[in-house]
């Protein structure tokens, strides 16, 4: 009787949740809603009752429909949308399950156990549980007392352990601790020498080391809270507000954003964070929207530190695949993170028990009036006439911030009326420092792998490499990747006094190996073109990659972190579109061995000419900390741009102007 009653209640709950899920007409690429997360949880837990088996949800996200299905629906948006499906990675009985749930039929489509190397995304819940364990662990308590520290003022943080050639069978992470007595800037006061290893499936401490004792860095001058600052450093100066009396110049319909000549879909994923899809630009000449970017997001972020000593060698993080950009998203602060004219949107992800978690103000969208010039010219060559034309560089920005441990990553997608998409990244936050005995550089007689920033404080050298997934569909799916190499030519015509010039020698990549590029080796312009469509004068429609930093990894190819992060060996990769190939570091990144990454997929050397292709672009930063980075780090900015090249027959700079702009003096409509 009790079993029958439970089944009836389950069916009623399922029907209720399904009614909530079905009441809203979803765009096929919409992120999962809170009701859908709950529905997925209910379906999976029916198959694996928690009373018998402990199941945790490491990832729940949209199982996006196949590309042809999306295009079929786009051609007739009033038709029935494709089935809504969720992709789930769950831990059950110390195994990782890959589960696909069909929300339309309330059924599990597939459920397979992953037997490869590596483990899934870490959840906040299990990390929070792990950092509580030392508080009752006697060896740890004794170590803190031995150092003369107040136990209640010591907090711990989680660190992934990487892979260094050994065979691993346990899902573990390390704990390192910090002393917050007298400061909230915990990362500047590490308690060196103590390392704890936690088995996440057993949720217990399985290894403990207390190897050395060094002074805990002092807390003087590490206060960063504005309310605690004295004039003239606080409070901050208020900037002038941008006035838009008619409201913002963009519209949001569900998750679709329209502004000026742009239209795109904004999604959210617990691992990737913001996802831009179906970005299209309106062409006045052709009187229609034209495809530019089918789907784009940050695929992985690799952060290796350069200290090979016992307490540091394993600090080689994959901030997206191990910790999750989406999960690490923080609420944006109006008038500080975003200007006064910003509109804010919330986001949701699923916790480890499958229940939805809300992130308020996860995104802000705003028109950026930075005072820059998009285009100008003063013509004084015409007798008795001076013509001055100026266009302000106004753009639309979609912004999100992810805080992964000590670093805050400011992620910007910026759309320009000229047809360009600018992708920006800002790195700020707090440095990860190492406690040492030194108080002056004259005392240092060995390699300390960093910079002495303050007494007993080393800022360790490290890198940040961001790999973007960019499924460009330039006016259609079938595209090619062209390297326009700039080559020096010697002049052989003796009638000219010139000795040399440079010209463009175009090379179309036929296979994946042809498209791999390390910046700095030779000058080239990189263009994704549609070889099947041409402008009036015969040029192929194209979008050019305007690179950012030409940085790449300096680690040896056979170094274990670099084997896992081999996708940073090149700045550019091009692969044929494959729905399952979207995470540059692989799907199961924690303790991975680098055998399911972009670098491995590309070894297949598949054909990419006149195909549906994906452009992968890695930008990087070598960070040599300096005293100005301590105790808080000013924003280090980088990025790149996708710029139209022979895409329009008419110039969009002249023909397009965003609505609702503030009109400044000397600007011509």
Which residues are catalytic, by number? 319, 407
Cα separation, 25 vs 21, in Å, equals 9
Is the peptide bond preceding residue 235 cis, with omega within 30 degrees of 0? yes
CB 644 within 8 A of CB 530: no
Q: Determine which helix (DSSP H) or strand (DSSP E) holds 10, and give its type and residue range.
A: helix 2-23
Distance CA 276, CA 414 (A): 11
Buried b (16+ CB within 10 A) or exposed e, 382-397: eeeeeeeeebbbbbbb
H or E element in which residue 44 lies: helix 34-47
Q: Kindly give the residue spans of alpha helices, DSSP state H, lying in 94-153.
A: 124-132, 138-146
Return the CA Rg of the chain: 27
Distance CA 582, CA 591 (A): 19
Asked if 589 and 160 count as a contact pair (C-beta separation under 8 A), the reply is: no
Pairwise CA distance, residues 25 & 101, whole Å = 19
Take residue 348 and report the two structure tokens written for it.
């949701």
Which structure tokens are listed for 325?
A: 């950009």
Residues contacting 470, CB < 8 A, separation 6+: 293, 296, 614, 615, 616, 617, 642
Helical H segments across 399-539, by residue range = 512-515
- Tell me the H-state helices in 174-311: none
What is the DSSP-derived secondary structure letter of residue 93? Answer: T
d(CA 423, CA 30): 22
Cβ atoms < 10 Å from Cβ of 419: 23
CB-side neighbour CA atoms (13 Å) of 511: 7
Instruction: Give Cα 437 distance to the centre of its chain.
Output: 37
Q: Is 473 helix (H, G, I), strand (E, B) or coil?
A: coil
Residue that has been written with the tokens 């838009």 in this structure: 244
Residue 660: phi and psi, rounded to 5, are 65, 25
**What tokens were used for 43?**
């379906």
CA distance 415 to 265: 13
| Contact (CB, 8 A) for 588 and 58 | no
Closest C-alpha among 616, 59, 643 to residue 297: 616
Burial of 530-539, coded b for 16+ CB within 10 Å and e otherwise, reads bbeeeeeeee
């Amino acid at each position: 009787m009790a079993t029958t009653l439970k089944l009836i209640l389950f069916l009623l709950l399922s029907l209720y949740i399904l009614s909530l899920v079905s009441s809203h007409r979803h765009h096929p690429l919409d992120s999962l809603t809170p009701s859908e997360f709950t529905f997925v949880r209910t379906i999976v837990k029916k198959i694996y009752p928690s009373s018998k088996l402990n199941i945790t949800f490491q990832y729940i996200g949209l199982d996006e429909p196949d590309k042809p299905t999306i295009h079929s629906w786009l051609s007739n948006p009033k038709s029935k949308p494709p089935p809504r499906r969720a992709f789930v990675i769950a831990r059950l009985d110390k195994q990782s399950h890959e589960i696909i749930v069909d929300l339309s039929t309330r059924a599990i489509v597939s459920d397979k156990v992953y037997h490869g190397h590596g483990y899934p995304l870490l959840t906040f819940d299990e990390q929070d549980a792990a950092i509580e364990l030392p508080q009752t662990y006697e060896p740890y308590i004794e170590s803190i007392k031995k150092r003369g520290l107040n136990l209640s003022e010591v907090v711990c943080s989680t660190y992934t352990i990487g892979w260094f050639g050994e065979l691993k069978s346990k899902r573990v992470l390390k704990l390192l601790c910090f002393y917050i007595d007298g400061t909230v800037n915990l990362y500047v006061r590490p308690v060196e020498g103590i390392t704890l290893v936690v088995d996440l499936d057993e949720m217990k401490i399985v290894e403990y080391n207390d190897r050395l004792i060094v002074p805990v860095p002092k807390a003087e001058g590490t206060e960063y809270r504005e309310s605690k600052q004295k004039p003239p450093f606080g409070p901050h100066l208020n900037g002038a507000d941008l006035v838009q009396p008619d409201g913002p110049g963009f519209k949001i319909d569900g998750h679709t954003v329209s502004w000026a000549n742009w239209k795109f879909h904004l999604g959210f994923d617990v691992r990737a964070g913001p996802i831009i899809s179906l970005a299209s630009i309106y062409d006045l000449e052709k009187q229609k929207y034209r495809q530019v970017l089918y789907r784009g997001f940050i695929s992985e972020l690799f952060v290796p530190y350069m200290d090979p000593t016992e307490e540091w060698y394993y600090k080689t993080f994959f901030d997206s695949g191990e910790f999750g950009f989406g999960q690490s998203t923080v609420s944006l602060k109006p008038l500080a993170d975003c200007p006064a004219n910003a509109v804010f949107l919330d986001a949701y992800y699923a916790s480890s028990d499958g229940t939805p978690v809300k992130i308020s103000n996860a995104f802000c969208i705003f028109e950026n009036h930075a005072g820059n010039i998009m285009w100008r010219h003063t013509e004084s060559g015409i007798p008795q006439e001076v013509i001055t034309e100026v266009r302000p560089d106004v753009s639309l920005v979609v912004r999100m911030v992810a805080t992964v441990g000590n670093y805050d990553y400011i992620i910007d997608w910026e759309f320009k009326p000229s047809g360009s998409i600018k992708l920006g990244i800002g790195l700020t936050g707090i440095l990860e420092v190492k406690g040492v005995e030194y108080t002056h550089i004259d005392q240092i007689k060995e390699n300390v792998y960093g910079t002495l920033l303050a007494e007993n404080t080393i800022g360790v050298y490290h890198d940040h490499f961001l790999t973007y997934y960019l499924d460009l569909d330039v006016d259609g799916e079938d595209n090619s990747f062209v390297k326009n190499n700039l080559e020096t030519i010697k002049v052989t015509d003796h009638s000219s006094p010139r000795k040399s010039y440079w010209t463009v020698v175009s090379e179309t990549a036929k296979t994946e190996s042809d498209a791999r590029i390390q910046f700095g080796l030779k000058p080239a312009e990189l263009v994704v073109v549609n070889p099947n469509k041409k402008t009036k004068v015969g040029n192929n429609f194209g979008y050019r990659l305007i690179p950012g930093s030409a940085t790449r990894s300096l680690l040896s190819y056979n170094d274990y972190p670099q084997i896992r992060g081999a996708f940073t060996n090149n700045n550019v990769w091009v692969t044929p579109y494959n729905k399952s190939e979207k995470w540059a570091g692989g799907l199961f990144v924690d303790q991975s061995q680098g055998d399911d990454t972009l670098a491995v997929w590309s070894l297949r050397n598949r054909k990419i000419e006149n195909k549906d292709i994906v452009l992968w672009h890695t930008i990087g930063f070598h960070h040599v900390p300096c005293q100005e980075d301590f105790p808080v780090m000013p924003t280090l900015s980088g990025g790149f741009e996708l710029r139209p090249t022979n895409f329009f027959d008419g110039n969009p700079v002249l023909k397009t102007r965003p609505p609702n702009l503030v009109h400044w003096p000397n600007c011509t409509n």
